[in-house]
Structure 1
Amino acid sequence: MSATDAVAAEEDVTDRWSAVRDLPPSAKLVAKVLDYNDTLTQSELAEETLLPPRTVRYALSRLEEEDVVDSRFSFADARKRLYTLSV
């Protein structure tokens, strides 16, 4: 990989997270956990991040406002929503 390729790859990563940059720390943490895990429910996110469920709800709402996460209903349990990172 040349130096130009490395700079271009770093710019792609920077651009990818630009929508998250000005969000609260809880939203950044939730986004990063979703980056490491493909799809999680809200309760799974609360377990992984060690954040209270209310904080995770707020973080997810902020991320949805910025179109950073996608949500869909779980086929296994229609009461739950599954969240995935879309950036």
Structure 2
Amino acid sequence: MSASESAGTDADAAGWDAVRELPPSAKLVAKTLEYNDTLTQSQLAEETLLPPRTVRYGLNRLEEVGVVESRFSFSDARKRIYTLTIDESR
């Protein structure tokens, strides 16, 4: 394992440790993103069966701890696409 791979693994561990401290809704959103790569907020609400407001809260908390990235959708600039930045599942 190279130094950069080791650093990535350490960051992944720290990321999941940070997620463990978050509310259950944020954990569910993180796990859903882990299995689905990228989703919009409305897709997350549909997948998790959580209200859109709860999904938004979970995404905000995940962004605060730095484990979720968002970008504008190319197909609809009004929407954002969310991606989990933790690679290794724990």
The two structures have a TM-score, normalised by structure 2, of 0.80
CA distance in 2 between partners of 1:20 and 1:37 (Å): 17
| Superposed structure 1 runs of 4+ greater than 4 Å apart | none
Give the share of equivalent positions with the same residue, in percent.
76
CA distance in 1 between partners of 2:75 and 2:61 (Å): 26
Question: 1:72 — aligned with what?
Answer: 71
User: What CA RMSD, in Å, does the superposition of the two structures yield over aligned residues?
Assistant: 1.6
SS at match of 1:56: helix
Gaps of 5+ in 1: 1-10
Q: Which structure is larger by alpha-carbon Rg, 1 or 2? A: 1
Question: 1:3 — aligned with what?
Answer: none
- Compute the displacement of 1:17 (Å): 1.1
- Compute the displacement of 1:19 (Å): 1.3
The two structures have a TM-score, normalised by structure 1, of 0.83
Question: 2:17 — aligned with what?
Answer: 18
CA distance in 1 between partners of 2:18 and 2:78 (Å): 29
Question: 1:39 — aligned with what?
Answer: 38
Per-residue CA deviation, residues 14-44 of structure 1 (Å, 9 max, x unaligned), is 8251110100000000000000001000000
Question: 1:58 — aligned with what?
Answer: 57
